[in-house]
Structure 1
Amino acid sequence: MTQKRATPTIKRRRVGGQLRRWRGTVRSGDAAKLMGWDTTRLSRIERGTYRVSDEEVRTLCQRLGVDDPDGVEEVARAAEQPLGEGWWAAYAGRIGQNYLDFIELEAEAQTLQVQHPVIVPGLLQSPGYVREMITRRPTAVSPEHAEMLVAIRLARQAVLSTATRLHALVPESALHATFESGPAIMRDQIRKLLDASEMANVELQIIPLTTHPTYGSSGAITLLSYKHPWAKVASVDGPMGGSHTDDAAQVSFLEREFAAIAEIALTVDKSRDLLNEYLEGPHK
């Protein structure tokens, strides 16, 4: 029998994680016996280091008494998804695995909540702004690698052309950035934000300059929600790159953090008015 190709690493981990949640309080040894497996195999499946087929997903869930036919079918479908699907697969081995995983998580999300305390979030950056952020960073990369990162960030923005909903919190301080390339960079960026604010699937709020600095001081946050039964994911940026988790307690904490910042941000309409003021004023 031909060995089927494994699903992507992040997909395997999410499949295994959902099976673990469905197992609940059933001991791993008892669950493994239901399938005629040893405990090691089940452990590896749940940790995402071993593939599981769609039929095995259905059988295990049936024997565990999982009463969620739609959820089981969704996980079974994901278990059979071939390796290498998605435009991001072309960058495997060329960028960090965490970033590659995040791109896939972002591309498959139904809703995205994004907050950055310093800059315009990546999904809303204009091409000129993207290039400034990547090519002028203190930790320089080669021109070839920088161009690849620019292309990736712009390609990620395709999610806004789908049914994905985005709620973005943008710091007003980011609108004060100046670049050696000239004021056209920020003028184009503000136009990009205004255009995005008119999209039906985008909710854009500006965090005013007068906001107490404790709001957003914990760093950039991205919250990702999915169709049933997948768990929500939270991603936090850092100087060494981003990290993500589907731990329910950690996700809940960051959801409260995001909600608190959104509460003190300007409304969508007032945010749009402020962007127009910047376009007509200091950055004209």
Structure 2
Amino acid sequence: MTQKRATPTIKRRRVGGQLRRWRGSMKSGDAAKLMGWDTTRLSRIERGTYRISGDEVRSLCAKLGVDDPAGVEEVAKAAEEPIGGGWWAAYAGRIGQNYLDFIELEAEAQTIYIQHPVIVPGLLQSPGYVREILTRAPTAAAEHAEMLVSIRMARQAVLSKATKLHALVPESALHAQFESGPAVMRDQIRKLLDASEMPNVELQLIPLTAHPTYGANGGVTILSYRHPWANVASIDSSFGGSHTDDAEQVTFLDGEFSAIASIALSVDKSRDLLNEYLEGLHK
């Protein structure tokens, strides 16, 4: 059967990446011969540019000696999923591929660690705050900005699932002033307070007194998944961020997140301070 070249979606790349990890130290040529393939075909499968069927995943893993039935079945199932699933597929070609990939990665995560040094993280933004952030950007075109507002609000659906969120929010973000008036920040603080009461959300404020080295490297999101998928780290940028599942890099960024969390206010103290801001008691 002719193997069709596939668009290298993030799902295909993750399937290929997991197969590459299972291949381990075995040479690609040797692994390809186990399936009667040439090395180019296996290479393209591992990069996500060739489709692989669920049965081929099971067969390859059996020949590689992978002793992980549940993990193999998870990857085989993912390999069979059609391209273009999920609500975000409607935005393909209208937003950057990196951002599209991130939305899919975020939607499928079991836990999300997120930290931003300047603004309230996107998953916790109120509608008014989102609109202020996105529509007043120097390069924002009205129609495109409104589309981005819709996308950001749709992303927040992950919090209504079992997804666990640990968010580090800079206290300095609560001092933002908008032309629309103080109601924007009042609604945003209420949103943060409501989120802090959710059983799957852990929210900590990074105090104004924190040393500026904490979080100085920009916004980071760390995503973890059910077995056997590798964790992913995403670093914010104007182009939708850059994502990596390199274990060493993810571990490093996870360590940075933990260091920031260690100097942030506790969940209870963060909630108390948010209430002070809402009541206008904090000056």
Q: Structure 2: which amino acid aligns with 1:197?
A: S
1:83 deviates by: 1.3
Aligned counterparts of 1:239 and 1:91: Cα–Cα separation in 2: 17
Q: Answer whether contact 1:107 1:159 (CA < 8 A) is retained.
A: yes
Q: Which amino acid aligns with 2:78?
A: A
Partner of 1:277: 276
Q: Which runs of 5+ in 2 are unaligned?
A: none
**1:56 partner letter:** E
Structure 1 residue 238: deviation in Å? 2.2
- Is the 8 Å Cα contact of residues 167 and 203 (structure 1) preserved in structure 2? yes
- Give SS of 2:273's match: helix
From the superposition, tell whether residues 88 and 8 of structure 1 become closer, same or farther in structure 2 (CA, over 3 Å).
farther
In the alignment, the residues of structure 1 paired with residue 266 and residue 243 of structure 2 have an alpha-carbon distance, to the nearest angstrom, of 28
1:75 pairs with 2:75: yes
Q: Which amino acid in 2 is paired with 1:105?
A: L
How far did residue 139 of structure 1 move?
2.1
Q: Which residue number in structure 2 is paired with residue 25 of structure 1? A: 25
Partner of 1:213, secondary structure, is coil
Conservation of the 8 A alpha-carbon contact between 1:7 and 1:81? no
Aligned counterpart, 1:258: 257
Per-residue displacement from partner, 1:85-138 (whole Å, max 9, x unpaired)? 100000000000000000000000000000000000000000000000000112
For residues 55-92 of structure 1, the C-alpha deviation after alignment (integer angstroms, 9 at most, x for no partner) is 00000000000000000000000000011110000000
Match of 2:117 in 1: 117
Instruction: Assess if the C-alpha contact under 8 Å between 2:108 and 2:225 holds in 1.
Output: yes
Please give the alpha-carbon distance, in whole angstroms, between the structure 2 residues aligned to 1:3 and 1:30: 20
Q: Which amino acid aligns with 1:86?
A: G
Equivalent pair of 2:276/2:282 in contact (CA under 8 Å): no
Indicate how the Cα distance of structure 1 residues 25 and 5 shifts in structure 2: closer, same or farther if over 3 A, else same: closer
For 1:51, what is the secondary structure of its paired residue? Answer: coil
Corresponding residue of 2:142: 143
1:165 is matched with which residue?
A: 164
Deviations for 1:188-236, whole angstroms, at most 9, x for unmatched residues?
0000000000000000000000000000000000000000000000000
Alignment partner, residue 232 of structure 1: 231
Alignment of 1:106-255 (within 5 A): 106-140=106-140, 142-255=141-254
State the match for 1:51 in structure 2.
Answer: 51
The question of whether the paired residues in 1 share the 8 Å contact of 2:8 and 2:47 is answered with no
CA distance in 1, matches of 2:97, 2:68: 32
3-state SS of 2:204 partner: strand
How does the TM-score come out when normalised to structure 2? 0.97
- Matches of 2:2 and 2:158 in 1, distance apart? 35
For the Cα contact (< 8 Å) 2:3–2:50, is it kept in 1? no
Partner letter of residue 111 of structure 1? T
User: Are 1:183 and 1:283, in contact at CA under 8 Å, matched by a contact in 2?
Assistant: no
Evaluate the alpha carbon distance shift between residue 206 and residue 240 of structure 1 in structure 2; reply closer, same or farther with a 3 A threshold: same
Give every structure 1 segment of 4 or more consecutive aligned residues whose post-TM-superposition deviation is greater than 6 Å: 1-5
The Cα of 1:49 is off from its aligned counterpart by 1.0
- Sequence identity of aligned pairs in percent? 82
Q: Across the two proteins, how many residue pairs are aligned to each other?
A: 283
Deviation at 1:43, TM superposition (A): 0.4
Cα distance between partner residues in 1 of 2:25 and 2:93: 38
